[in-house]
Amino acid sequence: MINWKGATAALALAALAAGSVAAQEVTWNVSLWGKRRAFTEHIEKLAEEVKNRTGGRFEIKIHYGGLSKPKENLDGISIGAFEMAQFCAGYHRDKNPTITVLELPFLGVKTLDEEVAVSMAVYNHPATQKDLARWNARLLMPSPMPQYNLAGTGKPPMKLDDFKGMRIRATGGIGEAFKMVGAVPTSVTATEAYNALESGVVDAVAFAPHAHLAFRTIDIAKWWTENLNPGTVNCPVVVNIDAYNELPDEFRKALDEAVAPALQHYIDNYNQLLAKWDGILKEKNIQVVRIPDEEIARFRAIAADPIREKWIRDMSAQGIPAQELYDLVIETLKKVRGG
């Protein structure tokens, strides 16, 4: 005789167990743009690390386009359209004013390790976390980039005055710096930069080396400024706060612990690209332009102090501890260098 009571109980336990396993399987979607490149290697590595650390039960699916436009990734995070995204502060400075301190020109950051250190210091500041929480966003890690330089067509700039009237694709503090010396900055997205340069909408594009390669601006450029180094942009990777809080403890721990190896992989990969950069320029027959040191000093004197002071005034007027955030960047640089 069949024990229906026992069989029913067994089925119920089996169903409960199956439901428990299913509950421990999570898939996150990540909104990026362009294609896989040095700029996204830490996210690729993060996904790999999380998958390995959770036995494949936590999957991070990376989407290069399709989920959102680059300038709308923060909005997508705010409504939970996806769980993770990358964006650049200069795309919408009003939405993330605190982290624009990292885009001020001539901060003096020299290496990718220093860029990580100052970014994480600012990301961990309570004012920054409160700022991004307005968009239901938790800052996970930066996308450290070296100093930007220009690749352009037409007459190459040999001195500061040559920038007057030059139309330059540049965002954030870099764009402000070029504006101070008479250039005309425009903030077209990275994916629009090639067409803008090719059609003559801009004369030059300010990018880090990987982006000049990934978005092919170096394919049509005639010259490259190797030592202008006006600054860089800050492009965080953020996660939706609700999605992060809802993760099982094991998965949240795996995600947090995957950040360090992901960033190290990114830096190692980027340094390999930088080591090849001179060869790439030679191969593409790009004229390497070296701006005289005295012209760089003029650029810094014209742009650095006024833009920083204006940023501090404007942000302070919004109730942001601007001076504190700027001082945090400088102090972090001193600590990293052992000063």
Reported as a single tens digit per residue, the pLDDT across 32-65 is 999 999 999 999 999 999 999 999 999 999 999 9
The single-letter DSSP state of residue 186 is: E
Question: Do 193 and 88 fall into the same domain?
Answer: no
Q: Is residue 278 part of a domain?
A: no
Question: Do 240 and 224 fall into the same domain?
Answer: no
How far apart CA 97 and CA 333 sit, in angstroms, is 21
Is the pLDDT at 3 greater than 70, yes or no?
no
Q: Is residue 9 part of a domain?
A: no
Q: Is residue 11 part of a domain?
A: no
Of 220, 207, 202, whose CA–CA distance to 165 is shortest? 202
Q: Is residue 2 part of a domain?
A: no
Domain CATH number, residue 104: 3.40.190.170
pLDDT for position 14: 42
pLDDT for position 68: 96
Three-state DSSP class for residue 107: coil
How far apart CA 213 and CA 245 sit, in angstroms, is 37
Provide the number of structural domains found in the chain. Answer: 2
Is the pLDDT at 335 greater than 50, yes or no?
yes
Question: Do 30 and 118 fall into the same domain?
Answer: yes
Question: Do 327 and 195 fall into the same domain?
Answer: yes
Q: 84-138: per-residue pLDDT in tens? A: 999 999 889 999 999 999 999 999 899 999 999 999 999 999 999 999 999 999 9
How far apart CA 129 and CA 295 sit, in angstroms, is 38
Question: Do 61 and 107 fall into the same domain?
Answer: yes
The single-letter DSSP state of residue 67 is: S
Only one residue has tokens 């390669």, namely 213
Cβ(173)–Cβ(104) below 8 Å? yes
Question: Percentage of the chain surpassing pLDDT 90?
Answer: 88
Question: Do 61 and 86 fall into the same domain?
Answer: yes
Q: Tell me the one-letter amino acid at 47.
A: A
Question: Do 238 and 208 fall into the same domain?
Answer: no
How far apart CA 29 and CA 22 sit, in angstroms, is 18
Is the pLDDT at 11 greater than 50, yes or no?
no
Of 54, 82, 36, whose CA–CA distance to 242 is shortest? 82
DSSP 158-178: -SGGGGTT-EEE--HHHHHHH
pLDDT for position 23: 52
CB neighbours of residue 21 within 10 Å? 10
Q: Is residue 186 part of a domain?
A: yes
pLDDT for position 17: 41
Q: 237-257: per-residue pLDDT in tens? A: 999 999 999 999 999 999 999
pLDDT for position 18: 41
Which pTM does this prediction carry? 0.85
Show Cβ contacts of residue 28 under 8 Å, excluding neighbours closer than 6 positions: 58, 59, 60, 61, 82, 83, 84, 239, 243
Query: Which is more confident, 18 or 167?
Result: 167
Question: Do 203 and 89 fall into the same domain?
Answer: no
Average pLDDT (284-294) is 96
Question: Do 90 and 201 fall into the same domain?
Answer: no
Q: Is residue 12 part of a domain?
A: no
Between strands 58-64 and 26-32, the pairing is: parallel
Range from 1-10, 124-133, 269-278 carrying the lowest mean pLDDT = 1-10
Q: Is residue 303 part of a domain?
A: yes
Average pLDDT (164-173) is 93
pLDDT band at 188 (very low <50, low <70, confident <90, very high): confident
pLDDT band at 326 (very low <50, low <70, confident <90, very high): very high
Cβ(119)–Cβ(102) below 8 Å? yes
pLDDT for position 90: 87
Question: Do 103 and 153 fall into the same domain?
Answer: no
pLDDT band at 339 (very low <50, low <70, confident <90, very high): low
The single-letter DSSP state of residue 64 is: E
Average pLDDT (275-282) is 94
Q: 59-68: per-residue pLDDT in tens? A: 999 999 999 9
- Long-range CB pairs of 267-276 (<8 Å, 24+ gap) are 267/112, 267/113, 267/116, 267/144, 269/38, 269/41, 270/38, 270/41, 270/112, 270/144, 270/145, 270/146, 270/210, 271/112, 273/38, 273/209, 273/210, 273/213, 274/146, 274/209
Cα 211 off chain centre by: 12
Assign residue 64 a region (left: φ > 0; alpha: ψ between -120 and 50; beta: otherwise).
beta
How far apart CA 193 and CA 201 sit, in angstroms, is 9
CA trace torsion 14, 16, 21, 23 (10° rounding): 160
Question: Do 262 and 242 fall into the same domain?
Answer: yes
Between strands 237-240 and 84-86, the pairing is: antiparallel
Domain, as residue range, for 294: 149-232+286-336
Question: Do 174 and 297 fall into the same domain?
Answer: yes
pLDDT band at 16 (very low <50, low <70, confident <90, very high): very low
Tokens matching residue 46: 């993060």
